C-alpha cells in the first residue's frame, strides 16, 4: 500500500474526502436509545456513515469495519455505552462495528476512539484513521480500560 492503510481501504470502500450523507437514521436510532450525540460524532457520521471497509488480517482471516450508528445500536444495549463512558472518562457514541460485528466502535467526545465487546473494552487510538490503521495491522486495543 502506498498511502496509510486506512486511507487506501476507505477509498476502496467508496469514501472521498468531504463526503456528506444523510444521517437521520443514525441520529434517530441514538435518540431512541437515549444516547446523547455530540458535534464530533455528527461530523464523523456525515462523512463516513454507510462505509464498509474490508481487509484480511495477517492470518488471512477476513475482517471489516462498518460505519453505522443505527446498526451498532441494534446490537448494543445502551447501558454498555454508559459503562464504557465511565471507564473511558468521556462521553461516547457508538458509530459502527468491526471484527465481523463482534466489536462495537465508539467515538469519544474528547476525540479518542474505543472498542467494546461486553466486558472487554479499550482504547483504539487518538483519532479515526489511527484507530482503523491499528485494527488493520494489529486487531487489538492500544490500551485496555
Q: What is the mean pLDDT of the chain?
A: 93
Q: What is the pLDDT of residue 53?
A: 96
Query: Which one is predicted more confidently, 117 or 4?
Result: 117
Q: Please state, for a pLDDT cut of 90, what percent of the chain lies above it.
A: 77
Taking 3-state DSSP, the helix, strand and coil percentages for the chain, each rounded to the nearest 5, stand at 35, 25, 35
CATH topology of domain 5-144: SMI1/KNR4-like (3.40.1580)
pLDDT at residue 2, rounded to an integer: 54
Distance CA 66, CA 100 (A): 9
Hey, where are the domains in the chain? 5-144
pTM of the full structure = 0.93
Amino acid at each position: 500500500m502506498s498511502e496509510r492503510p486506512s486511507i487506501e481501504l476507505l477509498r476502496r470502500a467508496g469514501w472521498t474526502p468531504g463526503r456528506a450523507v444523510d444521517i437521520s437514521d443514525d441520529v434517530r436510532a441514538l435518540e431512541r436509545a437515549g444516547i446523547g450525540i455530540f458535534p464530533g460524532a455528527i461530523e464523523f457520521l456525515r462523512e463516513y456513515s454507510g462505509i464498509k471497509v474490508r481487509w484480511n488480517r495477517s492470518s488471512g482471516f477476513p475482517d471489516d469495519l462498518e460505519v453505522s450508528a443505527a446498526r451498532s445500536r441494534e446490537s448494543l444495549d445502551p447501558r454498555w455505552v454508559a459503562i464504557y463512558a465511565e471507564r473511558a472518562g468521556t462521553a461516547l457514541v457508538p458509530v459502527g462495528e468491526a471484527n465481523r460485528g463482534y466489536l462495537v466502535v465508539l467515538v469519544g467526545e474528547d476525540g479518542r476512539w474505543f472498542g467494546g465487546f461486553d466486558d472487554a473494552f479499550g482504547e483504539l487510538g487518538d483519532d479515526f484513521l489511527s484507530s482503523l490503521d491499528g485494527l488493520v495491522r494489529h486487531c487489538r486495543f492500544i490500551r485496555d480500560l
